[in-house]
Structure 1
Amino acid sequence: MKELLKKLTEAYGPSGNEEIIRDVIRQEIEGFVDEIRVDTLGNLIAVRKGSGKKVMLAAHMDQIGFMVTHIDDKGFLRFTRVGGVSVRDSIHRRVIFKNGVTGVISYEEEIDDIRDIKFERMYIDIGASSREQAESMVSIGDVAVYHSAFSENGGRYIGKAMDDRAGCALLIETAKRLQASPHEIYFVFTVQEELGVRGAKTSAYALNPDIGIAVDVTLTGDTPKSRPMAVKLGGGPAIKVKDALVLAHPRVRSLMVSRAQEAGIPYQMEILDAGGTDAGAIHLTREGIPSGVLSIPCRHVHSDSEMVDASDMENGVKLMLHILEGEIEV
């Protein structure tokens, strides 16, 4: 899991530019499924054939980023956000473009109060000394992502894009370890989730599954003076009750809870006030699809150093396997 997470989190793949991370995932999952295809929007769909329920498992490939909108005479880049980037988490962070060019995000020097920093007064410094030099390195519309190394301390994995490469890793490991299942399983690695669960919307419509389960990260309430939340690192995967986009279907939620209890797998119940996952799109597809979410507790979400726990990842795989190996009634 450690090496897989390292490979996935270090791969480039902002929303709308998922080609590289899609190829990495394809290479990892080939040989463990019966069919792999890419749909029109760019979702990677890996199928494990069966005669039972049609089960859609979704984890998004894309990560947040910074799109170049203007290059000034001195070679500094102005940008717009791709996904839920915050000013606080971006100041003086290193970023990297698809072609390997790196830069640092900073802000106009005349700003004295950090509270006055807005994105329109920030820029990316790639070390260029003129517009011409900068234009030889990057172009308008190019997207940079956080550039930070993966590391591990005491069973805690730290790196960029854990949201949601951790979910992708969980699905890949599930596909690799799944011995038998009566169901037809669709491992869907979606695009553009950070821009409004777009890939899940189109893929769910095409697949029309009997049940949908999104796998994504969620916030925790275990850091100093954090907002109270009954989720912590190391407490087990979280089973979602609600977020801003979905009320988990009662039967799907009950299925996940009962399978965790049967197998003695630690789990937590998650209620998220803001934010959402691919389940928000899946459950509203066609006439409605019973949907739920298996969440991976994560600290420092949408920063360049997100943190997840190895045991939560492992128990998440075990729970998903236990769900898929048994009968599913929804």
Structure 2
Amino acid sequence: MDLSLLRDLCSIHAPCGEEATLAEYLLRYIKRNSPRWKVQPKVLVGPQLQDCIMLVFGNPRTAVLAHMDSIGFTVRYQDQLVPIGGPHAETGYILTGKDRLGPIECQLVEDDGQLSYRFGRAIERGTSLVFKPNWREEEDSIQCCYLDNRLGVFNALKLCETLENGIICFTAWEEHGGGSVPILARIMYEEYGVQQALISDITWVTEGVHPGKGVVISMRDRNIPRRSWVNRIIALAQESGIDYQLEVEGGGSSDGRELQQSPYPFDWCFIGAPEEGVHSPDELVHKHDIACMLQLYQHLMEKL
């Protein structure tokens, strides 16, 4: 499996609010690669979508949502840091970014819940900092920061190669409470009649979800999708013969929450590979689970 595209995606500085950097990369990728895709999509971008991207293939019935943003930190006053989303913070983690004085590579300091940085000069307030990428690839796994959710984006891009009918949405702000999905939901429902979606995102290894055992179908997290829809997904997964696991959680959330809270009758299901080291510089995902994720999305988008 060639994961060079995923490695590139993990290296892009795009925390919540700064998705434009990744969006620009994706648009260049789409322009360069879409001539080789099975169907040429309609590309929706512009001020009405802010930094989001929608790709419309054929006569869509189902959408796939993948959030572009990552967790990180914002420089406050003096040497203080404010978290973006819910990053795991330990003293010694290396953070990168840039301000008007130049590039930054500094050290994170955590002291009883208080976050700060150690650097040779003051960093301009409002500057965003992210974990320094450190890509490690083994025979059966990969490890790097921001597999959540650059792996979900990678899955969506690979799906584009064979997709005939469907919508792919690259969304923003998911890690810090969301906010981009309502306008996308309106367009999908009112302009294309689409009211079912798969959430291409990354979940956790837990006592009931194990690495290397297949892609995860989430039956619920903090939110509860409509059971009849989830049952349909599970039946199609079972039919496919692709390795999968079922997840039941009481916490966590995704772009599915915004679809469920929208005024439109959306069904949704979170499907993704499980990872260890969540929201840290050392997120780890098993290659077999990535392969199963790609295969299951292709199967579901053909059948739904």
Q: Any gaps of 5 or more consecutive residues in structure 2?
A: none
| CA distance in structure 1 between the partners assigned to 2:215 and 2:81 by the alignment | 36
Equivalent residue, structure 1, for 2:118: 125
Distance between the aligned counterparts of 2:195 and 2:287, measured in 1? 31
Q: Which residue of 2 aligns with 1:81?
A: 83
Contact 1:103 1:125 in 2 (8 A): yes
Q: Tell me whether 1:48 sits opposite 2:51 in the alignment.
A: no
* Structure-to-structure mapping, 1:62-141, within 5 angstroms: 62-71=69-78, 77-86=79-88, 89-98=89-98, 100-107=103-110, 117-119=112-114, 122-128=115-121, 134=122, 138-141=123-126
| Other-structure match for 1:249 | 226
TM-score (norm. length: structure 2): 0.89
Q: Which residue of 2 aligns with 1:204?
A: 185
Shift of 1:148: 2.8
The residue identity in structure 2 corresponding to 1:43 is C
Aligned-pair CA distance for 1:241 = 0.5
Aligned partner of 1:156 in structure 2 is 141
Sequence identity percentage: 22
How far residue 28 of structure 1 moved from its aligned partner, in angstroms, is: 2.8
1:158–1:307 contact (8 Å) kept in structure 2 = yes
Are 1:60 and 1:164, in contact at CA under 8 Å, matched by a contact in 2?
yes
* Conservation of the 8 A alpha-carbon contact between 1:216 and 1:294: yes
* Secondary structure at 1:14 match in 2: coil
Q: 1:126 deviation in Å? A: 2.2
User: 1:20 is matched by which residue type in structure 2?
Assistant: T
Quick check: 1:217 aligned with 2:202?
yes
Q: Which moved more, 1:144-153 or 1:90-99?
A: 90-99
Structure 1 residue 251 displacement after superposition: 3.2
- Aligned pairs for 1:9-20 (under 5 A) are 9-20=10-21
Q: Is the 8 A contact 2:195 2:264 kept in 1?
A: no
TM-score where L is the length of structure 1: 0.82
Q: For residue 142 of structure 1, what is the amino acid of its counterpart?
A: T
2:188–2:195 contact (8 Å) kept in structure 1: no
Residue deviations 1:7-27 (CA, integer Å, cap 9, x gap): 111111000001111122223
Alignment counterpart, residue 210 of structure 2, candidates 209, 229, 232:
232
AA partner of residue 118 (structure 1): G
Following TM superposition, by how much is the alpha carbon of 1:127 offset from its aligned partner in structure 2, in angstroms? Answer: 1.7
In the alignment, the residues of structure 1 paired with residue 232 and residue 98 of structure 2 have an alpha-carbon distance, to the nearest angstrom, of: 41
Taking the aligned partners of 2:296 and 2:229, their CA distance within structure 1 comes to: 13
Q: Distance in 2 between matches of 1:174 and 1:252?
A: 21
Aligned position for 1:224? none
Partner of 1:168: 153
How far residue 91 of structure 1 moved from its aligned partner, in angstroms, is: 1.7
Helix, strand or coil at the partner of 1:253:
helix
Matched, 1:277 2:269: no
CA RMSD of aligned residues (A): 1.7
In the alignment, which residue of structure 1 is the partner of 2:5?
Answer: 4
1:98, distance to aligned residue in structure 2 (A): 4.3
Give SS of 2:205's match. Answer: coil
Q: 1:323 aligns with which of 290, 300, 303?
A: 300
> How far did 1:48 drift?
1.1
Q: Deviations over 1:137-189 (max 9, x none)?
A: x42111000113111112211001111111111111111133xx3x3x11111
What is the DSSP-based 3-state SS (H/G/I as helix, E as strand, rest coil) of the residue aligned with 1:81?
Answer: strand
Letter in 2 for 1:25: L
Please tell me the residue identity of whatever aligns with 2:107: V
C-alpha displacement of 1:40 = 3.2
User: Given residue 18 of structure 2, which amino acid in structure 1 is its aligned partner?
Assistant: N
The residue number in structure 1 matching 2:281 is: 304
